[in-house]
Amino acid sequence: MTVRNNRSWIVYAGLLVLFWGVWGATSSQPVERYGYPDEMIYIIWAFTMLVPAAVALRRQRFDRRPVAAVYGLLAGLTGAGGQLVLFQALADGPAYLIFPIVSLSPVITVLMAVVLLRERIVPLAVVGVFTALVAILLLSIPSGDGGDVDTGSWLVLAVLICAAWGAQAFFMRKAALAGVNDATTFGWMTITGLALVPVAYLMMGGMPSAPWQAPAITAGTQVLNAVGALFLVMALSRGKASVVAPITNALAPVLTVVLSLAIYQTVPSVWSSIGIVLALAGSTLMVYTDEKRDEDVVAPGAADPVVR
């Protein structure tokens, strides 16, 4: 049994922004304090995914259909695989150029949702999506000067990560349209993340020497990341991918900037300040148009999300 989109996606998107915003403001601590390697952070993150996965699977049965496995694995591989590729990109190129490219992944999601899922966006919402995308780019611009950098393999890798993470949100939405429940999609994402742990270990070259505080802080921050990922699955199963992806990717960095200002007494750059305003404006437009819509018009041949 299926129904049209429901507006509960706003609640889950809000929780996603909260968890990822706090995670963004605290996730750098293991690296800054103890020089903890990114690959080890990935390994710990993969295991923290088991926590929300266990909670979700207690409420919903694991869907054993092949379609659930296909979309779940695709979402997991594009997400976790993109994370591993990011480590290599950062080793070859500058973060201040890589992250703005990667941050444009919602563009891929929007294009795939509009073209392949035939999601319709009213003109006012289009303005909101564009505003949010500009905000994401501005929030990714660093405050310092990076100097001249030669392009190389890192540029190709950054584009691949952008495409992978944009496709991940699409596959999450596609799974929901196929009737796959949230717990199953997230369960497959967890399995995929754990399956790539040996790859991360090999990239790291052995266990790092660090005090116990490093893995403890990493686990605490990455739980926020993992729970936020579950909320992303839940938001995309209830709302349009062309709206959920831009709004969450725009607002989470805003909360991170605000928390960083409060905790670390850091003043946002001019670009970040403009990005905050645009993110709030774009998100408000998208939520407003969703609230004003009496009902979704489903294109012929497109499926509706399942009843929760």
Comparing C-alpha atoms, which of 41, 72, 33 is closest to residue 191? 72
Q: What is the pLDDT of residue 206?
A: 87
**299 domain-assigned:** no
Predicted local confidence at residue 303, as pLDDT: 42
Rounded to whole angstroms, how far apart are CA atoms 252 and 299? 31
Task: Give the number of domains in the chain.
Answer: 1
- Whole-number pLDDT of residue 301: 44
Range of the domain at 233: 9-292
The answer to whether residue 303 sits within a structural domain is no
**302 part of a folded domain:** no
CA distance 152 to 171: 29
Output the tens digit of pLDDT for each of the chain's 308 residues.
333 456 789 999 999 999 999 998 898 899 889 999 999 999 999 999 999 999 999 999 999 999 999 999 999 999 999 999 998 888 788 777 788 888 889 989 999 998 999 888 778 878 888 898 888 888 877 665 455 455 568 889 999 999 999 999 999 999 999 999 999 999 999 999 999 999 999 999 888 889 999 999 999 999 999 999 999 999 999 999 988 999 998 899 889 888 888 887 777 778 888 888 888 888 887 777 766 654 444 444 444 433 33
Using alpha carbons only, give the angle 231, 233, 235 rounded to the nearest 5 degrees: 65
Q: Identify any residues that bridge with 306 across adjacent strands, giving them in sequence order.
A: 2
φ/ψ (deg, to 5) at 306: -80, 160
* pLDDT for 218: 95
pTM: 0.85
pLDDT at 298 (0 to 100): 43
Q: Could you count the other beta carbons within 10 Å of the beta carbon of residue 165?
A: 24
Is residue 141 within 8 A of residue 177, CB to CB? The reply is no
Please tell me the predicted confidence (pLDDT) of residue 295: 45
Is residue 172 one of the residues assigned to a domain? Answer: yes
With tokens 């404006």, the residue in question is 281
In a domain, 4, yes or no: no
